[in-house]
A and B are shown apart, each in its own frame.
Chain A
């Protein structure tokens, strides 16, 4: 048993010898064998690649909702992008998006979700059932309902201020004074269940013998967690980070309902900026350029996760 521990601790061990050397394959056979993948590739092409390309193209035109460019949009090259980068609202919006992403998804949902999953592993069954029901409720609610619930909570005359007044503490107009904090908390509340479920499943897959072995070797609770558990579930961590990042980048209804991107532009993340430009101001091409940037931000994070948390073969 003790011999397993070093490998499990993530020490870079040499690739196992048992892996068969790749045989030379005839190219014709490879193509034939990948033929069943074709429908999936076609579907991906039509429903994923298609919109991406059309969004890229749209962002290079001056297409708009009304006016002369509505009927015949012209190709304007990178004009939308140059004016976007010159727009003082844009860097602020990118920053707000990153703050929202890091605070609500990477830190909030992930850490809280993992913490809850770990705590629930060692708790009694009734506690486990009650806690997971409460947490999952927010996840089960349709987005628009959850958004209104969060609005009703933080609103000036809402639940939070009513409770504070009951305790004799004067509340503030949360959505107006701390718009980002409110939407971040709301997104954590709504999204934690997802991370919790992913991590609960991952933790259940960690064989108890390994943790026990580490315990015998004298590893304390915290060490067991960082040196044994975390490395063993790092694949789930990377998948979960990726999924929560992409979900959070595209959050629109929550912010739209709670603050409408305001006051001013104080909670205008990229999706809200794109909506505002495309549908409020009618600049479809310009709005699409913002959406394309959003796509790139998502892609950058995706590549980072794959690189940084390269799942090892185990």
Chain B
């Protein structure tokens, strides 16, 4: 009797094994379905709205085709991880994906993206993209892998009511980092309840901290992260240490949010939908897209924003030429290397980024337009009073190192920022830790000492 029981268990177990083996064999849909992956998180819902609209348009124009939208609800760092995990398996890899320009080169090396050159050659609209915008979606091999949706610049958003109440002259135009610190002190003295200045920092904010925060500082010093001529990473620079010093001044000097507030994963949402409309944050170093939250179609509409919020360019450290700095990035639409219907995927991308759709997306998401026919369209220029300012910053903007190791090194920058803002390390110690980490990632032969 007992033996028979065991036999039954054995058969059951064996069939369970066989069944679980079957489950893995599903091959990701047929070629009449397009899988489109993009980010949807917090206040960033404009991409979701845009993709839904394009899906409708595309399905109407292409009978029998279905678009499967896969909104990845994750903040930026997790979005990259989830997208990469989707790309690793053919059964989940998307046909079209929303791809940050700084990830393009790495993902090309990983073999996740398909080159678009053959399609672009026959695409009339490509003439509307200026050369620097085209390069944003290029891989190390020079081929184009992503079509830019828009670009961005960064600057300081400030609440002019708070600043003038604190005795600061508006319109405010800081000329050095010290001007920012002095203004922050003035705000703190005026009302200790108001958070004077926010600069994104720490691991939780990932690329936001590295780019909106750290690199906005470093690009205003005499040093750089990466020597593009030598193709080497620069270590031990004074500018690096000074930039960390600024983070320390803000967070350890009580001029920013408390480190815990700043390390909260949701601080981006809190800032733009609560603190700024509520008048509890005086200055915020953020992207050109920030007003996308407050406009009528945004996630936290705030009709008075254009009267209260003003923008000032980020000054260089000591006011050195050209006196201001900015960083630019932007996102693209890219095609999955494993797509079974590349022609349809291209149709989807080109529909999503034609003049009309680019215009509506750039306005809704407060993007700096890349297409010339969008940037010059009165419908775009009249839509938002800050578009002119941010587009004009492009003249003095900087780009992130075009190197496939950048994303790993960027993560190390956020580690250095976090250890300084929490007081665990001095800027000097954190910079030394960073130097060791970079050598660990790229090897000593790909680094060089700072010249200054």
* Distance, CA A70 to CA B84, complexed state (A): 9
B109 touches A263 (CB 8 A): no
A263 touches which one: B3, B81, B103, B263 (CB < 8 A)?
Answer: B263
> Which chain A residues border B408 with CB–CB below 8 Å?
67, 281-283
Q: Is the CB of B110 within 8 A of A176?
A: no
* Shortest Cβ gap from B411 to chain A (Å): 5
Q: Which residue of A lies closest to B337 (CB)?
A: A71
Q: CB of B112 within 8 A of chain A?
A: yes
Interface of B, secondary structure class, is: helix
Is A279 touching B81 in the complex (CB atoms < 8 A)?
yes
Question: Cβ of B81 and Cβ of A70 under 8 Å apart?
Answer: no
Give Cα distance in the complex from A280 to B259, angstroms: 20
> In the assembly, what is the distance between CA of A281 and CA of B203, in Å?
10
Most buried by B among A66, A88, A263: A66
- Are B13 and A280 in touch, CB under 8 angstroms? no
Determine which of A42, A46, A68, A83 lies in contact with B109 in the assembled complex, contact meaning CB atoms within 8 Å. A68
Q: Residue A66 contacts which of B3, B110, B265 (CB distance < 8 angstroms)? A: B110
Once the chains are docked, how many angstroms separate the CA of A68 from the CA of B111?
Answer: 8
With both beta carbons as reference points, the residue of chain A lying nearest to B6 in the complex is identified as A36
Whether a CB of chain A sits under 8 angstroms from the CB of B9 is yes
- Contact between A280 and B77 (Cβ–Cβ < 8 Å)? yes
Given A175-B260, A176-B260: A65 touches B85 (CB 8 Å cut-off) = yes
Q: Does A208 contact B (CB under 8 A)?
A: no
Task: Say yes or no: B81 contacts A173, CB within 8 Å.
Answer: no
Given contacts A39-B10, A282-B408, contact A65 B260 (CB under 8 A): no
Complex CA–CA separation, A83 to B6 (angstroms): 48
State the Cβ distance, A290 to closest chain B Cβ, in Å: 15
CB distance from B419 to the nearest CB of A (A): 5
Say whether B111 contacts A39, CB under 8 Å: no
Q: Distance (Å) between the CB of A39 and the closest chain B CB?
A: 4
Q: Does A43 reach chain B (CB closer than 8 Å)?
A: yes
A67 x B260 contact (CB < 8 A): no
Say yes or no: A66 contacts B418, CB within 8 Å: no
| B interface residue count range (under 10 / 10 to 19 / 20 to 34 / 35 or more) | 35 or more
Question: Do A176 and B103 touch across chains, with their CB atoms under 8 A apart?
Answer: no
> Is A260 in contact with B110, judged by CB distance below 8 angstroms?
no
Taking a contact as CB atoms under 8 Å apart, the answer to whether B77 and A264 are in contact is: no
Q: Which residues of B contact A43 (CB under 8 A)?
A: 13, 17
Give the residues in chain B near A40, CB-CB below 8 Å: 13
Does B404 belong to the interface (CB within 8 Å)? yes
Q: Which B residues from 240 to 287 make CB contacts under 8 A with A? A: 258-260, 263, 265
Chain B 221-248 interface mask (CB, 8 Å, partner A; 1/0)? 0000000000000000000000000000
CB of A94 to closest CB in B, whole Å = 18
- Kindly supply a per-residue 1/0 record for chain A positions 267-301, scoring 1 wherever the CB is within 8 Å of any chain B CB and 0 otherwise: 00000000010011111000000000000000000
In the complex the two chains form, is B109's CB within 8 Å of A67's CB? Answer: yes
Assembly CA distance A283 to B405 (angstroms):
12
Question: Which residue of chain B lies nearest to A83 when distances are taken between CB atoms in the complex?
Answer: B440
Whole-angstrom distance between the Cβ of A19 and the nearest chain B Cβ: 24
Using a CB–CB cutoff of 8 Å, the interface residues on chain B facing chain A are: 3, 6-7, 9-10, 13-14, 17, 77-78, 80-81, 84-85, 88, 103, 106-107, 109-112, 202-204, 206, 258-260, 263, 265, 404-405, 407-408, 411, 418-419, 422, 424, 433, 440
**Can you list 6 A-B pairs, Cβ within 8 angstroms, ordered by A?**
A68-B404, A156-B260, A173-B258, A173-B260, A176-B260, A263-B422
Other than A156-B260, A260-B263, give 19 A-B pairs with Cβ distance below 8 A: A36-B6, A39-B9, A43-B17, A65-B88, A66-B103, A67-B405, A67-B408, A68-B110, A176-B259, A260-B204, A262-B202, A262-B263, A262-B422, A266-B422, A266-B424, A276-B203, A280-B77, A280-B81, A282-B84
Shortest 4 CB-CB contacts between residues of A and residues of B:
A70-B110, A36-B6, A65-B84, A39-B10
